[in-house]
Chains A and B, each alone.
Chain A
Amino acid sequence: MPNGIMFLTAKERPLCTEERVMRPMIDVAISLAKAHRASDPKTNIIKLLPDDNEIRLVEVSDAAPTIGEAIPFRFDAYPAKDVDYPSAVILLSQDEWRDVSQGKLRLPAGWDLQTAVNL
Chain B
Amino acid sequence: MAAPARDWADPFLEQAREDLRAAYAISASKSASTLCMLLQMVFEKLGKAAHSRVGYTIARDHRYATKLFLILELSPAGSDVLQIAPNARQFLEELENATPSVANKSDNTSAPWPRLEYPWEDASGCILYPARDLALAKRVRNPNDRILGDCLKLASALEKQLFAIIQ
Contact = CB atoms under 8 A, between A and B. Distances in A.
A39 B143 contact: no
Interface in B117-167: 141-150, 152-154, 156-157, 160
Interface stretch (A6-14, A15-23, A66-74, A98-106): A66-74
A83 to B, nearest CB: 5
Interface residues of A, number: 28
A67 B27 contact: no
Contact of A65 (B30, B81, B87, B145): B81
Contact of A78 (B24, B143, B157): B143
Given A40-B146, A67-B157, A78-B142, A73 B152 contact: yes
Given A39-B87, A40-B87, A64-B84, A32 B29 contact: no
Given A32-B143, A40-B150, 12 more contacts: A32-B144, A63-B86, A63-B87, A66-B157, A67-B157, A67-B160, A73-B27, A73-B152, A83-B144, A88-B28, A89-B146, A89-B149
Interface of A: 31-32, 35-36, 39-40, 59, 62-69, 71, 73-76, 78, 81, 83, 86-89, 91
